[in-house]
């Protein structure tokens, strides 16, 4: 006959293993829940338009502030059409109507805040696995895509745009205009890469996706909801 103590030890061991598995599963589901939460918020943003730029005095210096219109996704009405031709027509029509759309809200950022956004995302997607997650794949398609965008794509440089001569000759306004369009293009490309619909539905997902989404959500958050001081400018640019 088998001793009762052995049966008791086996039962206790099974309970311990089960609790460990439950805890691990709970942590995994919690991470997935956070990823989904940030993804949903980010995916609500359709595109942004930098509408204008204006001068503002800060700490005795004149700085340039960019006004960003944030457009959200429209609500789907009725069943989506399965016709490829209709889908292409709808996409073309939506693009043509962008200029007549009204933004959901506006946010304001200086150039240095855009630069800080780029650097923060670069730090996340370029970190080596031992620094953040040992299970992170060496060749992650999501990180590779975002990393290429923030390093290889054009980003307005930190050229000086102040001074009496630059203002008098109109060179400063030209630089601001060029920077405005460059920042708008970069941000919209970053939004597309960060959302990466094809990646989100693949078998494996990178946990850095949630981190990048959280950074972008904070940057584009409604001014009433944004954390105070979260995007403090680094310079007078």
DSSP run (H or E) holding 57: strand 45-58
DSSP run (H or E) holding 45: strand 45-58
What is the pTM for the complete model shown? 0.66
Hey, what are 124's tokens?
A: 């996340």
* Three-state secondary-structure class, residue 71: strand
Given this model, what pLDDT does residue 170 score? 64
pLDDT range class, residue 63, cuts 50, 70, 90: confident
Percentage of residues of the chain with pLDDT beyond 70 = 51
Given this model, what pLDDT does residue 62 score? 82
Given this model, what pLDDT does residue 43 score? 82
**Which whole-number Å values give the CA distances from 54 to 127, 160, 161, 185, in the listed order?**
36, 16, 13, 19
Is it the case that residue 48 has pLDDT exceeding 70? yes
Hey, what are 181's tokens?
A: 């369009």
What's the average model confidence in pLDDT over 42-68?
Answer: 89
- pLDDT tens per residue, range 117-171: 999 999 999 877 655 566 676 778 888 889 999 998 889 887 655 555 555 566 6
Q: Architecture of 4-219 per CATH?
A: 2-Layer Sandwich (3.30)
pLDDT range class, residue 77, cuts 50, 70, 90: very low
């Amino acid at each position: 006959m088998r001793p009762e103590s052995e049966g008791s030890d086996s039962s206790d061991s099974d309970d311990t293993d089960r609790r460990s598995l439950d805890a691990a599963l709970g942590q995994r589901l919690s991470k997935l829940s956070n990823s989904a939460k940030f993804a949903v918020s980010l995916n609500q943003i359709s595109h942004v338009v930098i509408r204008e730029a204006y001068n503002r005095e800060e700490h005795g210096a004149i700085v340039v502030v960019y006004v960003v219109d944030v457009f959200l996704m429209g609500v789907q009405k009725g069943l989506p059409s399965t016709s490829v031709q209709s889908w292409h027509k709808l996409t073309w029509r939506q693009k043509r109507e962008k200029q007549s759309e009204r933004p959901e809200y506006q946010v304001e950022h200086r150039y240095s805040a855009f630069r800080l956004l780029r650097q923060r995302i670069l730090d996340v997607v370029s970190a080596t696995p031992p620094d953040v997650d040992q299970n992170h794949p060496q060749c992650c398609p999501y990180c590779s895509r975002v990393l290429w965008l923030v390093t290889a794509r054009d980003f307005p440089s930190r050229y000086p745009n102040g001074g009496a001569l630059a203002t008098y000759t109109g060179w400063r306004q030209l630089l601001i205009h060029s920077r405005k369009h460059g920042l708008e293009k970069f941000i919209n490309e970053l939004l597309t890469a960060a959302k990466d619909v094809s990646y989100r539905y693949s078998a494996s997902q990178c946990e850095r996706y949630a981190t990048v989404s959280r950074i972008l959500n904070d940057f584009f958050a409604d001014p009433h909801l944004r954390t105070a001081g979260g995007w403090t400018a680094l310079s007078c640019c």
